[in-house]
């Protein structure tokens, strides 16, 4: 099994944020949101931990609006999607600057709130803020993902839903390179340090294994069978807020 190697801090956060925004995440983001909407109740208040340029909050609001208007078939879980309110939080100010542009462009400024939040700080957000907390491929960016998981549980209201998807660390360098070739775009002779292939490679090395996230779930009182492999490189956690001892 490959050891976990945390991602190096960005030399130029703005350059890396811009490079991330230039990548095509539309289909992956849409799949995340559809899986969220189809598999359980959502909102009306939602927090996206590590929102980046706010593409998932925007996609969530757009697809929820289509469901509420009857223009998109989706399982009925009793959600009031017509009054959805989303808070996107991120530690990187450069990402939030991109997010503000995206919100202006999409016309969602009044529906989506942005805040700079350190996901390692358990006091960064108030308790019981939302009925749903989501996060997509963010935990592997953190040196201590357990803190972010504790923050996610804290911000959920009793009975609230936690929906997290992230990369799973492969067992070998050969498997890393296979996934990079499959999902990282075309190879070049001199790959950019902020290009999609190198960023995916670093992310796979920094990701948690299924057993590692299960150990974190145990410490939080969440049943380990609530997390499952859902693609060749992703695991997904879908659960309700556990009882928290005072």
Residue-range definition of the domain harbouring residue 141:
25-171+209-240
* R_g (Cα) of the chain, nearest Å: 17
* Confidence (pLDDT) at 186: 85
- Identify the bridge partners of residue 87 per DSSP, sorted by sequence position: 47, 113
Domain of 150, CATH number, reads 3.40.50.150
Q: Indicate whether 120 belongs to any domain.
A: yes
CA atoms lying within 13 Å on the CB side of residue 140:
26
Rounded Cα distance, 174 and 220, in Å: 33
One digit per residue, pLDDT tens: the chain, 246 residues?
A: 899 999 888 777 777 777 766 777 889 999 999 999 999 999 999 999 999 999 999 999 999 999 999 999 988 898 989 999 999 999 999 999 999 999 999 999 999 999 999 999 999 999 999 999 999 999 999 999 999 999 999 999 999 999 999 999 999 999 999 999 999 888 775 567 778 899 999 999 999 999 999 999 999 999 999 999 999 999 999 999 997 654
DSSP result, 9-54: PPSSHHHHHHHHHHS--HHHHHHHHHHHHHSS---SEEEEET-TTS
Q: 184 lies in a domain?
A: no
Residue 56: inside a domain = yes
Closest-CA residue to 115 (of 129, 135, 100): 100
**Structural domains counted in the chain:** 1
* Cα 217 to Cα 41: distance, rounded to the nearest angstrom: 21
Residue 138 in any domain: the answer is yes
Q: Is the dihedral of CA 194, 199, 201, 206 positive or negative?
A: positive
Please name which of 176, 149, 174, 169 lies closest in space to residue 237, comparing C-alpha atoms.
Answer: 149
- Residue 225 placed within a domain: yes
Domain assignment present for residue 74? The answer is yes
Give the strand pairing for 85-90 and 112-116: parallel
Question: Is 134 within a domain?
Answer: yes
Q: Residue 17: inside a domain, yes or no? A: no
């Amino acid at each position: 099994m490959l050891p976990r190697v945390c991602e190096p801090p960005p030399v130029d956060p703005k350059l890396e944020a811009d490079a991330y925004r230039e990548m095509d995440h539309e289909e992956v983001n849409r799949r995340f949101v559809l899986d969220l909407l189809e598999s359980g109740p959502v909102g009306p208040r939602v927090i996206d931990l590590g929102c980046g340029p706010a593409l998932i909050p925007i996609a969530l609001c757009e697809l929820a609006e289509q469901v509420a208007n009857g223009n998109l078939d989706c399982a009925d879980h009793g959600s009031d999607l017509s009054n959805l309110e989303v808070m996107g939080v991120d530690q990187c100010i450069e990402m939030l600057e991109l997010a503000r542009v995206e919100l202006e462009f999409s016309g969602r400024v009044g529906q989506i709130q942005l805040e700079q939040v350190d996901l390692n700080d358990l006091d960064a957000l108030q308790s019981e803020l939302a009925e749903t907390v989501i996060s997509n491929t963010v935990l592997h960016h953190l040196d201590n993902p357990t803190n972010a998981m504790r923050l996610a549980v804290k911000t959920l209201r009793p009975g609230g839903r936690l929906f997290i998807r992230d990369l799973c660390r492969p067992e070998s360098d050969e498997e890393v390179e296979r996934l990079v070739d499959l999902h990282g775009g075309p190879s070049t002779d001199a790959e950019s340090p902020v290009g999609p292939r190198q960023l995916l490679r670093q992310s796979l090395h920094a990701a948690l294994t299924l057993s590692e996230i299960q150990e974190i779930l145990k410490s939080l009182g969440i049943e380990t069978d609530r997390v499952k492999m859902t693609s060749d490189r992703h695991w997904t956690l879908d659960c309700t807020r556990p009882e928290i001892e005072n």
